[in-house]
Structure 1
C-alpha cells in the first residue's frame, strides 16, 4: 500500500476519534449516556519477501464504556430508593394526622369524657346533658373525618397504582422496541453495536426500576429479558407483556395489579411486587394504611360497644332503661368474584366481645366440605366446627355464623373493624335519653337498731334479664346469723365464702365486708346488725342520680381493649406510636437507600461518565494525530511529484 493510503487511514482514524470525542462532549449531560472511544488496530501488513511493511491503521471498534455489574447495582438501588420514597410520602400523611394535637383523636376523646364527668357536677341537669350529646357528635365527626382522610389516601394510592402500571407498560414497549432495533443492527456481534441505542435502553431499564423492581438478564441478539414479581416476564426479545390495574378479587374498590396473557388477566400477589414506586405504594397500603384504619375502627367499635353496655345499665331522665348511645354496624364481608355463581353463602360476623377484638381482616375459605376462617395478620386458621353450623362460633370476639351452600374454592373477605370509624355515630336523638342514673338504690331504714349497713349497689348485664319490679327487703336473723328476703328463684354469691353460691331459698350468712351478688345486683354489707334489721334494695326514682354517669366516666381509664390490657387512649397511643416508629424507620431507610444509590451511580459513572477535562485533552491529541496524518499524505504527494519530475 502506498504512503498516501497509509496517511489516509491515519487521517480517517483521527477524524473518527475527533467525532467520537465531540459526541462525548455534547452528550456529557444526557442521562444514561456512556462515553465512547475509538479502538484502533494495525492494518494487515504486506509481505516484501524479506519482511512485512505496514499498511496503516483501521478502526476495530467504537467502544462503549459500561459495566453491567455496576449497572445492575444501580437498578437495584434505584428500585429500593424509589420504593422507600413512595412509602415515606404516604406514611407521613398518616403519621401527621394521627399525632396532630388538633385533628387527632386524643383531644376529642378527652373532651367527650370531660363532658361525661360533667354530668355528675350538675346532677345530670339539662345543660350537661346537652353538652355531652354535643361532645359525642364531635367525637363521631372526628372518627369519621379521620377515616375519611384515610379513604382519601386510599383513593390516591389507587390512582397512583393505575398511573404506575401505565408507565410500566410504556417503558416495557419502548425497551422491547429497542431490543428489536438493536438486534437488527448488531445481530449476535459483540463489537459493532449501536451504542447510543444501548444507552437509551439501559436508561429506560433504570426508569422502569423507579416504578417496579426488575430482574434483567441478557438474551439473544444483544437483547434484554426483563421480569418482575415471581418471575412474570415483562419483556422477552421484541415482545412486551402488559400489566393491568384491576380491582382486587375480594374487594373491587381496591386497585391491584394483574398480568395480561391472551386477553386473560391474572392477579399478581401484592407481596410479590416489591421495590419501585408501585412496590412502595402496595407495601404502604398493606402494612400501614390497612392496619391503621382497622386499628382506628377497633377503637371506635370498642368505645361504642363498651359505652353502650354500661349505658344499658342506667336509667334516663324519664326513668326508662338506657338504650344504645352509639350505633354499631355489622362487619363487612365481600365475596371473591371468582366464586361459583351457584353458591348461596351468607356470612354473619357480629362483634360480641370487644376485649378479644383484633385489628385484623379474615379470610373465609371453603374446601372439601370444610370451612376455615383465617386471621390474615398472622395466618392463624380456625376451622368452623361443626359445619354446617347450628350456632355461631366465636373467633377473636366475633360470632361467625355461616349459612347457605358454598363450592370448594369459594372464599370471602371479612373486615370486622375496617368501617368501625366510618360508621361511628350517635344513636341518641334527645339529651333526656342519656342514662345517667343507676337503676337501683339501697337504703338502711332509720328504725334499724344495729350498726349493720348495706353499701351502694351496682348492676351488671345479667340484671337486665330480670330487673326489679318491687323492692327487696333483706332481714337479719340473729339466731342463725343469716339474711333472708333475697329475690325468689335466684342463687346468692358471697365473696370469700367457700360455701358460696347459695341456692335459691337457702339462708345466706351475714358476713361483714363481704360482697353479695344476686340477680345481677352486687352490694356489700358491714357492721353488726340486730335481729329484725332490714336492708332495702329498690328501683331508683326521682332525678339527680348520676351513679351510672360516674361509671360511664370510669370507662376512660378502664382497661377494655387488647384482652383487658389497654384503655381507649392507650390503644390509640399504641397506634400513633406504631405508625410513628414505622415512619421513622422508613425515613432512615430512605436516607440510607438514597446514599447507596448515590454510591452505586458514582461507581457506574466512574466507568461510563464523561470527563470533560479528559475529552478536551483528547481533542488536542486527536487534532495532532489528524495533522500528522495529513503531513504523511503531504509527504506522499511530494514524493509522487518528485517521481514525476524524474520522468521528465
Structure 2
C-alpha cells in the first residue's frame, strides 16, 4: 500500500515539477516575439483494480500544450502583408507628392515665368533684354522639367534597390522555414509531442516573410508548412525551399523585376501577381504611380514642345528667316525585348503626332507570328494593326504614330513609352536672341483712300505657307456687283471661306465678301469686317519689319490659355494641376488606408495575443499553485515513507 502511495506522490511530484518548468518557461519568454504560451495538460493514470473497486495510481503529463489559433494567426499574417504594402507605397509616393507640390521652385511657377517672359517680349518687341530674359526663363523651364525627371529616376533607382533587398530577405526566410520544417519532421507526427518552440519560430518566420510579400500557408505532411506566393508559385514545400531572383526586364534594362528560379532558368513573374508586403507595395507603386507620373510630366513636356515649336515656326526671326524649333522634343522610347527571336526582322517606331490625344500609358507591340497588335498597358486595350504591310505600316493610336515593318516570330514584343523621357529630353533649342521668331511673315494694309468701313485683320499664316509661299503682294478689291465679291486672290489658289462655323471653297480668284468671315489661301489667313465701298482695296505684303513685329510671339503666348491636353480640355497649367491633384489624392488615400491597416493589425494581433500571449499575473498565480501541488505531492511521499518505516518496524 505504501508503495502505491509512494508512486502516486512521485507522479504528482513530477507533474508539478513539469508544470513549474513550463510556467517558468512562459515567464522568461514573455517578451520574445512570436512566443506562444504553453501549458501542462494532466491526465489520470490508469487505475488499478482491487477486490473492492479501482484504486487510483496517480497522474501523468498528457501534453505540453501550445496555445495558438491558426485562424487568428492567418488574420495577423494577412493584415501584416497588407499593412507593409501600404506603408511601403506611402513612403515612396509621399516623396513624389512633396516634389510636385513645391509652389516656389517647382514646375508650375517655371511655366508661369516662361509665359510672363513671352508677354514681356510681346510688349517690347525690339528689346534685346526682353528677348534675353525669354531665353533665360526657357532654360529655367527646361531645367525644372529635367530636375523633376531626375528625381523620379532617383526614386526609381531606390525602388530597384529595395526590390533586390526584399528578394534576398524572402529567400533567406524560405530557407529557414524549410530547415525548421526538417527539424520538426524529425520528431515525428505524434500530436501530443510537438516541439512547441520550433513551431513558434516557424510561425514567426512566416510572419516576418509576410512583411515582405503576401504568403499563403497550407499544412503539409509530417507537420510541415507549405508556403506559396503570387499566383501559387511554391516558395517552401516540406523541406525544400525555392528561390526568387531579381532580373532586368527584357524591354528596359534599367528596371529590376522579380523572377522565379526553376533549375538553372529564371522566369519573370507578372508584377501584378506579386502582391502584399513591402515587395508588393513597391511594385504597385512603380506601376501605379511612378510610371504614370513620369509619363504625365513627360506628356506635358512633349505637348509643350510640340505646340510651342509649331507656333514658333509660323513666324520669322530678326533676319526674316522662318522660325526654328524653340524647344527640343524628346523622341519616344522604343525597345525590343532581348529574348525576341533572332530571325525577326521587325522594326517598330513611334512618333507623337497629336498631343491632344496623348495618354499617360505605355504600350506593348507584340506579334503572333502573322499579325501585330498594340496594347495600351494602362487598361490592356488591344488594337490589331490591320491591314499590315511588311514594307511599312503606320497606325495612329492615342496621338502616336506607330510604324511597324518586317516580320516577327510569335511572342516577339516591343515596349513603347511615348512620353516617359519627355521631361529629361526637354531642352531649349535656340542659342541666340536673334533666332526668336516673334514676327509674322505677312503684313496687311488698307489705303486711307478707301471710302467704306471695311477692315482687314493683321493676318497670320499656317505651315503650308512656307512649303509653297504665294507671290506677294496680293491686292484684294471689293466689287459690289453680283452680291459683293472680293477679287484679286491668286488665280490658281483655292480660297476657303469660314463664317459662323460654315466653310465654303471658292476658285477663280474671287470669293464673296461677308463681314466677320475668315479667308485662307496658300497658307495665308485673314479676316474681313466692316462694310467696304465699291473699289476699296486691301493689300497683303511680305513683312519686312520683323524685328519690331510681335504678332507671332503674341500668338505663342496665347497657348498658355489654350486647351490642348485631354482631347482639348486642359491647358498646360491645368494638365499639370491634374497630375498634382491625382498624386495628392492617391497619397492621402494610401495614408488613410495605411492608418486603417495599422488599426486592423493591432486588433487582430490583440485577438491572437488573447489566445497565445503570456499573462505574467496569471503565470505568477500558476507558480504558487504548482508550488503548492509540488509540496503536497512531496507530503504524500513523506507519508508513504512513514508508513513504510512503520511496516518495517513491525516486522523487526
Map residues 56-205 of structure 1 onto 2, 5 A cutoff.
Answer: 56-185=58-187, 187-205=188-206
| Residues 468 and 539, structure 1, Cα contact 8 Å, conserved in 2 | no
User: How many angstroms apart in 1 are the aligned matches of 2:470 and 2:525?
Assistant: 13
Q: TM-score, length-normalised on structure 1? A: 0.98
| Residues 489 and 510, structure 2, Cα contact 8 Å, conserved in 1 | no
Match of 1:596 in 2: 600
User: How many angstroms apart in 2 are the aligned matches of 1:118 and 1:351?
Assistant: 31
* Counterpart secondary structure, 2:267: strand
Equivalent residue for 1:539, pick from 542, 550, 564: 542
| Residues 468 and 538, structure 1, Cα contact 8 Å, conserved in 2 | no
Equivalent residue for 1:555, pick from 536, 539, 559: 559
Shifted more, 485-494 versus 632-641: the winner is 485-494
| Residues 469 and 539, structure 1, Cα contact 8 Å, conserved in 2 | no
Q: Using the TM superposition, give the Cα deviation of residue 644 of structure 1 relative to its aligned residue in structure 2, in angstroms.
A: 1.6
Shifted more, 233-242 versus 323-332: the winner is 323-332
Taking structure 1 as reference, are residues 124 and 83 closer, same or farther at Cα in structure 2, changes over 3 Å only? farther
Match of 1:631 in 2: 635
Equivalent residue for 2:491, pick from 488, 492, 497: 488
Q: Using the TM superposition, give the Cα deviation of residue 510 of structure 1 relative to its aligned residue in structure 2, in angstroms.
A: 1.9
* Counterpart secondary structure, 1:525: strand
User: How many angstroms apart in 2 are the aligned matches of 1:499 and 1:363?
Assistant: 41
User: How many angstroms apart in 2 are the aligned matches of 1:490 and 1:181?
Assistant: 92
Q: Using the TM superposition, give the Cα deviation of residue 455 of structure 1 relative to its aligned residue in structure 2, in angstroms.
A: 1.8
User: How many angstroms apart in 2 are the aligned matches of 1:437 and 1:343?
Assistant: 50
| Residues 489 and 509, structure 2, Cα contact 8 Å, conserved in 1 | no
| Residues 474 and 490, structure 2, Cα contact 8 Å, conserved in 1 | yes
Match of 1:348 in 2: 349
Taking structure 1 as reference, are residues 24 and 391 closer, same or farther at Cα in structure 2, changes over 3 Å only? closer
Map residues 231-242 of structure 1 onto 2, 5 A cutoff.
Answer: 231-242=232-243
Q: Using the TM superposition, give the Cα deviation of residue 469 of structure 1 relative to its aligned residue in structure 2, in angstroms.
A: 4.6
Q: Using the TM superposition, give the Cα deviation of residue 498 of structure 1 relative to its aligned residue in structure 2, in angstroms.
A: 11
C-alpha distance after superposition, 1:603-646 (max 9, x if no partner): 00000000000000000001001111111111111111111211
Q: Using the TM superposition, give the Cα deviation of residue 520 of structure 1 relative to its aligned residue in structure 2, in angstroms.
A: 2.2
User: How many angstroms apart in 1 are the aligned matches of 2:500 and 2:565?
Assistant: 31
Q: Does 1:12 align with 2:24?
A: no
Taking structure 1 as reference, are residues 469 and 126 closer, same or farther at Cα in structure 2, changes over 3 Å only? farther
| Residues 97 and 103, structure 1, Cα contact 8 Å, conserved in 2 | no
User: How many angstroms apart in 2 are the aligned matches of 1:495 and 1:259?
Assistant: 64
User: How many angstroms apart in 1 are the aligned matches of 2:649 and 2:228?
Assistant: 72
| Residues 436 and 547, structure 1, Cα contact 8 Å, conserved in 2 | yes
Q: Does 1:383 align with 2:387?
A: no
Taking structure 1 as reference, are residues 10 and 546 closer, same or farther at Cα in structure 2, changes over 3 Å only? same
User: How many angstroms apart in 2 are the aligned matches of 1:300 and 1:170?
Assistant: 44
User: How many angstroms apart in 2 are the aligned matches of 1:227 and 1:585?
Assistant: 29
What are the ranges of 5 or more consecutive residues in structure 1 without an aligned counterpart? none
Q: TM-score, length-normalised on structure 2? A: 0.97
User: How many angstroms apart in 2 are the aligned matches of 1:58 and 1:104?
Assistant: 76
Q: Does 1:36 align with 2:30?
A: no
| Residues 493 and 509, structure 2, Cα contact 8 Å, conserved in 1 | no
Match of 2:529 in 1: 526
| Residues 511 and 525, structure 1, Cα contact 8 Å, conserved in 2 | yes
C-alpha distance after superposition, 1:318-343 (max 9, x if no partner): 11110000111321111122210121
Match of 1:451 in 2: 453
Match of 1:306 in 2: 307
* Counterpart secondary structure, 2:210: helix
* Counterpart secondary structure, 2:628: helix
| Residues 19 and 40, structure 2, Cα contact 8 Å, conserved in 1 | yes
Match of 1:508 in 2: 511
User: How many angstroms apart in 2 are the aligned matches of 1:439 and 1:221?
Assistant: 88
| Residues 183 and 222, structure 1, Cα contact 8 Å, conserved in 2 | yes
Match of 1:479 in 2: 481
User: How many angstroms apart in 2 are the aligned matches of 1:321 and 1:188?
Assistant: 87
C-alpha distance after superposition, 1:169-212 (max 9, x if no partner): 00000000000000101x22111000000000000000000000
Equivalent residue for 2:588, pick from 576, 584, 589: 584
User: How many angstroms apart in 1 are the aligned matches of 2:375 and 2:153?
Assistant: 25
Q: Does 1:618 align with 2:622?
A: yes
C-alpha distance after superposition, 1:400-429 (max 9, x if no partner): 111222112111110000000010011111
What are the ranges of 5 or more consecutive residues in structure 2 without an aligned counterpart? none
Q: Using the TM superposition, give the Cα deviation of residue 477 of structure 1 relative to its aligned residue in structure 2, in angstroms.
A: 2.4
**How many pairs does the alignment contain?**
647
* Counterpart secondary structure, 1:607: helix
* Counterpart secondary structure, 2:499: coil
Shifted more, 187-196 versus 480-489: the winner is 480-489
* Counterpart secondary structure, 1:44: coil
Shifted more, 227-236 versus 321-330: the winner is 321-330
* Counterpart secondary structure, 1:256: strand
User: How many angstroms apart in 1 are the aligned matches of 2:501 and 2:216?
Assistant: 72
C-alpha distance after superposition, 1:215-273 (max 9, x if no partner): 10111111101000000000000000000011112222111111101111111111111
| Residues 124 and 436, structure 1, Cα contact 8 Å, conserved in 2 | no
User: How many angstroms apart in 1 are the aligned matches of 2:649 and 2:529?
Assistant: 145
Match of 2:27 in 1: 25
Match of 1:274 in 2: 275
User: How many angstroms apart in 2 are the aligned matches of 1:632 and 1:451?
Assistant: 130
Q: Using the TM superposition, give the Cα deviation of residue 55 of structure 1 relative to its aligned residue in structure 2, in angstroms.
A: 1.2
| Residues 491 and 501, structure 1, Cα contact 8 Å, conserved in 2 | no
C-alpha distance after superposition, 1:263-295 (max 9, x if no partner): 111111111111000000000000000111000
Q: Using the TM superposition, give the Cα deviation of residue 124 of structure 1 relative to its aligned residue in structure 2, in angstroms.
A: 4.1
User: How many angstroms apart in 1 are the aligned matches of 2:14 and 2:7?
Assistant: 10
| Residues 494 and 505, structure 2, Cα contact 8 Å, conserved in 1 | yes
User: How many angstroms apart in 1 are the aligned matches of 2:459 and 2:531?
Assistant: 19
C-alpha distance after superposition, 1:50-109 (max 9, x if no partner): 212111111111000000010000000100000000001001001111111134211111
* Counterpart secondary structure, 1:211: coil
Q: Using the TM superposition, give the Cα deviation of residue 448 of structure 1 relative to its aligned residue in structure 2, in angstroms.
A: 2.4
